[in-house]
Structure 1
Amino acid sequence: MMAEARTEIDASRIGRRGYLRNPVAYGEEYPTRVVDDAIPPTAPQMAPEEPQIPVRISRRQFRLHLLALGLLDTVEAWIDTQPLETQIAYESSSTFVRSDAMMQAGFDALGFETAQVDAFFVAAAQL
């Protein structure tokens, strides 16, 4: 339930009989002051949402991000030293799945930690 903003009324605006006088009738604006503690929090005050870690990224995203990090040549040289199954998977895959065993082996060979792999996938997914 949203709290309504409370206002405070300037005491000089109360007429002789205790009623609030109509400032519009006197050509004035109605003065009010918003009490800050009654205003619900706005979006900037709320905690930012954590980015979702993609389960998979496209081949294009994967390779472009490797290129941006200066790792494309290193990864491709490592792939050339791997069994034929890994080489075929790398060359033929249209997507790269975060949890794939071959993918984990590649990131381990590069010395990536779990948080770095997550960051890699988040950044690559934005390309």
Structure 2
Amino acid sequence: MITLTGACLCGAVTFTHAAPEKLVRCNCAACRRYGALWAHGPLDAIRIRADGPLIRYTRADLDGPEDGGLVFVSCATCGVTTHWEPATPQGDAPYMAVNGALGEPDVQAALPLRHFDGAESWTFTD
């Protein structure tokens, strides 16, 4: 089992994902700009630690968990986007994602990479 850890540039926000299955490259407008490789998981598998202020940007126009949109979270000090959270409460299996691009290269290389069409079809393309 692989554990993914990562941090923003200044180290004020760190995360641990206990068991990511894959990294996801999404082509929606937000994810393209963030340059993220998302590692999705249930809330109880991911730990976020923030030692400083955060910036929360809600994209309600994006389909997301329960179609309530996503809240992209970034470090207010260095500006790096570390994760996203659901904008609205979810049902039986709440989840979020951390930015796996902030993890160590060897861990990134050990995880399968999938491409997701978040711009059009909301399906995996591979």
Q: What range describes the TM-score normalised by the shorter chain of this pair? A: under 0.3
Which of the pair is proportionally richer in helix? 1
State TM-score, norm by structure 2. 0.24
Instruction: State the TM-score, normalized to the length of structure 1.
Output: 0.24
Q: Whose strand fraction is larger, Structure 1's or Structure 2's?
A: 2
